[in-house]
């Protein structure tokens, strides 16, 4: 589902974020990407959504080589990759319902589909009662649920999450992780960058550990690791 | 289905970003109002200069001993010149009658026959006066040729300057209006860059993102242009069209046809719409590259 071959990514000013990364994530997997800040976790996520292009090497997502994907096809790639962020990225002037509906409307889904799917997905994330609230009337955990709902309402093949629990307390984080786990069980591939030890250790899923832009550990049913 | 989305999105955004909408509309209105004012000024200058130039004529005074043949030959020759629009023969008797009508006090000492017969020449372009006069000078039967000389030349120079100045002003104002409007739209879009970012991330195509913004830009520009048009037309109706009552000599300058004012209105709406569309799509380009 996601494949990186010898990927190097340099940012301006000779900053090497990824240094020869090769890895493969298969369909339906749940993968934690761990490592200290600046180890390349976010860069990896951005390569998958083609927010960034690799300096060298190839990135494949859903069977397509992103390097040869024309610019106008990028929106269609992103419809297959749902994104969740640490800062939720909700629109403050839209209600919960509208925020989630937005994800469907802007890809041209008809109103009937929006009317059916949005309440359904909000029920799934446990916000069926709060459709008309605005984001600032919700707790952090609830906001992140809205953001997960928006990422998943389109039933993407892949869900990438960049530190989705970074701003949440442990109890709330557990709720979000249950949600991601449930989404994964529907067959969606989930890639989550995190440095939350407790979550990684309790879930026991595949762990990819990055350090200075290299994969230093790839372990199925792993833990966060010692000393990192 | 999509059209409905675009329109409801546009209206919703205009409402929720009311302050920005008002800012954009008033910027458009003020810039276009200035542009419209200069256009009306330009029409007035054009009117005035055309009016002056239409009064420029070349007078060819004939010798008292000029034969009928000489006069007829001269009239034919002059009327065949490409610069000449109209030639009128004014006999000595007609000249006397005209003079008497215009200046009854001065005419008392005159008797018919004291004034020379002449040819009155109207030109297509007042700029040709000097050349036409020079060509006729010295022809058989011609006593003197008058065309106003330096005064006409000076007048024409002033006219040319006035026209250049108003044209330059309207070009500058047009560019300034375009810049101002585009900048306001850019600000409005900048305020909503997060929204655009999210649209990109969930896989909206660039056109899908662009269209509501462009409709908003168009809407704001058209409303602004409408305000400017109403003020320009209203100002003309309230003020300019009443001035001739008080200052009759201004009448020829201020006598606008509806067509000219509609052309100005059309220009304002056109510039507004174009700048609204182009400004918003240009301003968007930077935010679409994610």
Q: Does residue B33 share a domain with residue B165?
A: yes
d(CA A65, CA A71): 13
Q: Does residue B89 share a domain with residue B136?
A: yes
Query: Do residues A101 and A114 lie in contact, with contact meaning Cβ atoms separated by under 8 Å?
Result: yes
For the domain A1-80+156-228, what is the CATH superfamily, name and number? P-loop containing nucleotide triphosphate hydrolases (3.40.50.300)
* ipTM computed for the complex: 0.81
From first to last of its 228 residues, chain A has per-residue pLDDT tens of 999 999 999 998 889 999 999 999 999 999 999 999 889 999 999 999 999 999 999 999 998 999 999 988 999 999 999 999 999 999 888 899 999 998 898 888 888 999 999 999 999 999 999 999 999 999 999 999 999 999 999 999 999 999 999 989 999 999 999 999 999 999 999 999 998 889 999 999 999 999 999 999 999 888 887 654
Cα end-to-end span (Å), chain A: 28
Lowest mean pLDDT among B48-57, B77-86, B198-207: B48-57
B3 exposure class (CB count in 10 Å sphere: 0-12, 13-18, 19+): exposed
Domain ranges of chain A: 1-80+156-228, 91-155
- DSSP class of residue A25 equals E
Q: Does residue B162 share a domain with residue B42?
A: yes
d(CA A25, CA A189): 8
Q: Does residue B69 share a domain with residue B10?
A: no
Where in the sequence is the domain holding B94, given as residue range(s)? 57-147
Q: Is A72–B1 a contact, with Cβ atoms under 8 angstroms apart? A: no
Q: Residue A188: which of A109, A76, A82, A105 has the closest Cα?
A: A82
B189 CA to chain A: closest CA distance, Å? Answer: 14
**Does residue B182 have a pLDDT over 80?**
no
Structural domain count of chain B = 2
* CATH number (domain holding residue B75): 3.30.70.3040
pTM as predicted: 0.68
**Does residue B122 have a pLDDT over 60?**
yes
Query: Do residues B17 and B189 lie in contact, with contact meaning Cβ atoms separated by under 8 Å?
Result: no
Which two tokens mark B213?
């913004």
Q: Where does chain A have alpha helices with state H?
A: 41-48, 74-78, 96-105, 111-124, 140-152, 170-185, 197-203
Contacting B with CB below 8 Å, chain A residues are 49, 51, 72, 75-80, 83, 89, 91, 93, 102-103, 105-108, 110-111, 150-151, 154
């Amino acid at each position: 589902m996601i494949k990186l071959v010898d990927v190097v990514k340099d940012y301006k000013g000779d900053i090497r974020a990824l240094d020869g990364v090769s890895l493969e994530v298969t369909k339906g997997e749940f993968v934690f990407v761990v490592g200290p800040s600046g180890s390349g976790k976010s860069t990896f996520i951005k390569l998958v959504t083609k927010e960034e292009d690799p300096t060298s090497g190839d990135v494949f997502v859903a069977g397509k080589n992103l390097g040869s994907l024309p610019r106008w096809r990028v929106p269609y790639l992103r419809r297959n990759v749902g994104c969740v962020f640490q800062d939720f990225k909700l629109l403050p002037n839209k209600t919960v319902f509208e925020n989630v509906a937005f994800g469907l409307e802007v890809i041209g889904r008809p109103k009937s589909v929006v009317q059916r799917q949005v309440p359904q997905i909000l029920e799934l994330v446990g916000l069926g009662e709060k459709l008309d609230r605005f984001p600032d009337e919700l707790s952090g955990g609830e906001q992140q649920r809205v953001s997960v709902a928006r990422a998943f309402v389109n039933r993407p093949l892949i869900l990438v999450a960049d530190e989705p629990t970074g701003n949440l307390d442990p109890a709330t984080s557990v709720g979000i992780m249950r949600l991601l786990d449930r989404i994964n069980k529907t067959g969606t591939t989930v890639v989550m960058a995190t440095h939350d030890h407790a979550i990684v250790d309790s879930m026991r899923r595949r762990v990819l550990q990055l350090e200075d832009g290299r994969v230093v550990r790839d372990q199925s049913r792993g833990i966060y690791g010692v000393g990192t | 289905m999509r059209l409905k989305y675009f329109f409801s999105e546009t209206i919703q955004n205009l409402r929720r970003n009311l302050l920005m909408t008002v800012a954009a509309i008033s910027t458009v209105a003020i810039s276009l109002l200035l542009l419209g004012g200069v256009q009306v000024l330009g029409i007035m200058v054009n009117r005035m200069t055309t009016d002056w130039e239409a009064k420029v004529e070349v007078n060819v005074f004939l010798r008292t001993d000029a034969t009928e043949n000489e006069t007829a030959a001269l009239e034919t020759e002059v009327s065949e010149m490409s610069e000449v629009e109209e030639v009128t023969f004014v006999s000595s008797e007609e000249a006397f009658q005209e003079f008497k009508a215009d200046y009854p006090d001065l005419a008392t000492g005159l008797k018919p026959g004291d004034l020379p017969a002449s040819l009155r020449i109207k030109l297509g372009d007042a700029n040709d006066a000097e050349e036409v006069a020079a060509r006729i000078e010295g022809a058989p039967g011609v006593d003197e040729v008058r065309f106003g000389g330096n005064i006409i030349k000076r007048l024409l120079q002033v006219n040319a300057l006035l026209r250049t100045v108003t044209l330059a002003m309207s070009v500058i104002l047009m560019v300034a209006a375009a810049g101002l409007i585009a900048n306001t739209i850019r600000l409005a879009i900048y305020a909503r860059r997060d929204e655009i970012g999210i649209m990109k991330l969930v896989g909206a195509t660039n056109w899908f993102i662009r269209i509501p913004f462009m409709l908003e830009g168009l809407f704001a520009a058209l409303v602004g242009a409408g305000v400017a048009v109403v003020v320009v037309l209203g100002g003309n109706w309230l003020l300019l069209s009443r001035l001739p009552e008080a200052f009759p000599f201004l009448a020829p300058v201020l006598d606008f046809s509806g067509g000219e004012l509609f052309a100005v209105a059309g220009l304002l709406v056109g510039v507004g719409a174009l700048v609204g569309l182009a400004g918003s799509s240009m301003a968007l380009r930077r935010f679409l590259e994610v």
